[in-house]
Amino acid sequence: MKEKNVKVINTASGSVLYSTHLETIEKAFEFASDMEKMDIDVHIDAPSITDSLAETLGLTPEDKEVYCQTITGEIEDHIL
């Protein structure tokens, strides 16, 4: 399973301006802050905690789907 990187994306063009590993996510936030100081509108695309845990556990795509459905069910049970 390929781990997803944290990306800083130009909101206007959709182009990736910066990409880094999740372990160094603070660098992405620093880069995004620098871009915004130059009036470049950006957003950060980072893996969710569910994605990160599934990656760490080494889940297969099928197991990840079951895991995500379970998490979603648990959240819905607590909301309703």
Listed by start position, the domains of the chain span: 1-47, 48-80
- The DSSP code for 22 is G
Position 80 pLDDT exceeds 70 = no
The pTM (predicted TM-score) of the whole model is 0.69
N-term to C-term CA, the chain: 34
| pLDDT tens sequence across 42-66 | 999 998 888 888 888 999 999 999 9
Q: How many angstroms separate the CA atoms of 14 and 18, rounded?
A: 12
Q: How many angstroms separate the CA atoms of 66 and 36, rounded?
A: 39
